[in-house]
Amino acid sequence: MTQTTNTDSYQAMLAAVQAFHDKHDFKNTGGEDMLYRIALMSEELGEVAECVTKGKPVEALSEEVADLLILIIGTAVSADFDLNQAFWKKMDRLMQRESKMIDGRIRVSEFRDK
Ligand SMILES: [Mg+2]
Ligand 1: centre distance to CA 68 (Å): 7
Domain boundaries, the chain: 10-81
Ligand 1: centre distance to CA 94 (Å): 28
Ligand 1: centre distance to CA 23 (Å): 20
Question: Burial of 63 by CB count in 10 Å (0-12 exposed, 13-18 middle, 19+ buried)?
Answer: middle
Mean pLDDT of 68-76: 98
Question: In angstroms, rounded to a whole number, what is the distance separating the alpha carbons of residues 88 and 21?
Answer: 24
Stretch (H or E) spanning 61: helix 58-79
Question: In angstroms, rounded to a whole number, what is the distance separating the alpha carbons of residues 83 and 72?
Answer: 9
pLDDT digits over 12-60, tens only?
999 999 999 999 999 999 999 999 999 999 999 999 999 999 999 999 9
Ligand 1: centre distance to CA 36 (Å): 15
Ligand 1: centre distance to CA 70 (Å): 10
What is the maximal distance between C-alpha atoms in the chain? 53
DSSP state, residue 31 = T
Side chain identity at 95, as an amino acid letter? M
Radius of gyration of the CA atoms of the chain, in A: 17
Considering the chain, what is the average pLDDT of its residues? 95
* pLDDT(108) > 80: yes
CATH 1.10.287, domain 10-81, yes or no: yes
* pLDDT(11) > 70: yes
Strand locations in 27-102, DSSP E?
98-102
**What global pTM score does this model have?**
0.90
pLDDT digits over 35-47, tens only?
999 999 999 999 9
Tell me what percent of the residues of the chain surpass a pLDDT of 70.
95
Reported confidence tier of residue 1, pLDDT bands at 50, 70, 90? low
Ligand 1: centre distance to CA 58 (Å): 14
